[in-house]
Amino acid sequence: MKCRRCGGRAVLELRRHNTAFCADDFLAFFRNQVHETIRRWGMLTRDEPVLVAVSGGKDSLALWDVLLEAGYATTGLYIDLGIFDYSRESKARCQAFAAGRGARLLVVSVADEVGAGIPQVKAVTRRPTCSACGLSKRYIMNRAALDHGFAVVATGHNLDDEAATLFGSTLRWDESSLARQTPVLAATHPKLVRRVKPLFRLSERETAAYAFLRGIDYIVEECPFAKGATSIAHKEVLNRLEDVSPGAKASFLLNYLERARPRFQAGDPVELRECARCGQTTTGEVCAFCKLADQVRRSGAAAVAAAVEAEADDAALRGLASDVGAASEIHAS
């Protein structure tokens, strides 16, 4: 297999583009896709500092890498979810990445904000774990951006992430999720910063190849709570469809954005106001994040610790009990 651009030995075949590239030309292709996406969707401007939300995984570190290399004024934001070794290791990767490039990294901990880490939140709320975690991350991203004067947050969501989200919303025909599905969430309120996804046209496989070829040390493990998540099942379905018909995933997402999304946006005016408790935006009286924090607080630290210990019997978390014990002692103190 030869590189489509230089004729040298290709390292990666991209079936949906019916092409193949050597390492250097793939990196150039990848960067070009990111910059084209940023330009076409008006995601970032050169003079505007951007907060890059990094998880320690391939996508967000690849994004930060591309933006740093292109000279954007970036700061990293790592949100510590308190998920045992997974969080410790992913934080270490982000810190090493930032240190190696002389970049600034902010670290905010869910435990400080919501009163407990995600394992405790999981134990005391009835919300699906990924839902409580996503809510916390979106809240913290926005507040960190406001606190530190950023008008925009960039996240590493890739094509597979976005297509899977769209797939889930479509199976339910969830009109408000469908209306919100976009690579550029505009700042529709003074307390809401713009959120952009410059990797949304690049597949998971492509971001992994970029991170690998650039020698980025990222965390390969999935979050231990993601096992059995619906989004993973949906990704598998989409992968099967992609195997049969390369490009299916991209056309599903891009055709939606072009043709169908306007139909869901019309007549879906969301009125935002400030949360009576924290001042961030909400459609109600008190925002969902404050309600979650209330629930965690009401459950009490002792109950939280007990619940987490019971939870640790779960096969997926076996062996983490001592970890949790230590964590709940810290939170109880």
Chain-centre distance for alpha carbon 9: 34
Q: What single letter denotes the amino acid at residue 82?
A: G
Is the separation of the CB atoms in 179 and 229 below 8 Å? no
**Is the separation of the CB atoms in 119 and 83 below 8 Å?**
yes
Q: How far is the CB of 19 from a copy of itself (least distance, A)?
A: 23
Per-residue binder mask for a copy of itself (CB under 8 A), 128-167, x = binder:
----------------------------------------
Between CA 196 and CA 44 the distance in angstroms is 8
Our CA angle for 103, 108, 113, nearest 5°, is 165
CA dist., res. 293 & res. 305, Å (int): 16
Report the residue from 260, 272, 306, 321 that binds a copy of itself according to the rule CB under 8 A. 260
244 near a copy of itself, judged by CB under 8 A: yes
Per CB under 8 A, 269 contacts a copy of itself: no
Q: Does residue 237 interact with a copy of itself by CB under 8 A?
A: yes
Residue 264 in contact with a copy of itself, rule: CB under 8 A:
yes
CA distance 10 to 83: 39
CB of 283 vs a copy of itself, minimal distance in Å: 19
Q: Cα separation of 241 and 175, whole Å?
A: 24
Instruction: Note whether 233 binds a copy of itself by CB under 8 A.
Output: yes
Total residues contacting a copy of itself (rule CB under 8 A)?
22
Q: Please tell me whether residue 252 binds a copy of itself under the rule CB under 8 A.
A: yes
Q: Does 256 bind a copy of itself (CB under 8 A)?
A: yes
Residue 92 burial (CB count, 10 A):
14
CB of 15 to a copy of itself, least distance (A): 17
- 26 is a site residue for a copy of itself (CB under 8 A): no
Tokens of residue 304, six digits: 């939280």
Q: Is 332 an interacting residue with respect to a copy of itself (CB under 8 A)?
A: no
Binding residues vs a copy of itself (CB under 8 A): 170-173, 175, 178, 233, 237, 240-241, 244, 248, 251-252, 255-256, 258-260, 263-264, 266
